[in-house]
Amino acid sequence: MQDVLVMTYLWLKAGHIIFMVFWLAGLFMLPRQMIYLHPAAPESEESALWTKRMGLLRKVILTPSIIVVWILGLLLAQTLQVWGEGWLHAKLLLVVLLSGFHGLMVAQSKKMAAGERPLSEKQLRMFGEIPGILLALIVIMVVVRPF
């Protein structure tokens, strides 16, 4: 029975890491695609192309990945019974912030697809750094477990 639990844990962990990589790749790509869309005139062919690409990124990578990451992460926490650990609380807070960033970028990309330009290119470049910072902090929480 112990072997089954160990194998289940390892498959959950592998899946969580794989889909976390997909999710973060999408979060790195979306602001970059928004930067490329920014100078395009609404209703232009270029705008339509970037709008299509952003929609596919959201539909094929971002949405499925965030769902799988959350499900597998919660299953891992349950499997390990680490609900009372401080590092997990900090990690969950950071993942909630990352999820909020995801929602913000999706909303902004939809506004841009509709022809609006609510953020400047400079702001988009700065927003593009946020996933990397949060990723580094999340990895530290999981690997180092500072508290």
DSSP state of 59: I
Report the distance separating Cα 145 and Cα 80, nearest Å. 14
Reading the block at residue 65, the tokens are: 């990945």
Residues ≥6 apart with Cβ < 8 Å to 127:
31, 101, 105, 119
User: Is 16 annotated for ligand binding?
Assistant: yes
Cβ–Cβ < 8 Å for 119, 127: yes
Helix ranges (H only) for the chain are: 2-37, 45-56, 63-80, 86-113, 121-127, 130-143
Query: What distance lies between CA 35 and its chain's CA centroid?
Result: 18
Q: How many residues does the chain have?
A: 147
| N-term to C-term CA, the chain | 31
List the binding residues: 16, 91
List the binding residues for heme: 16, 91
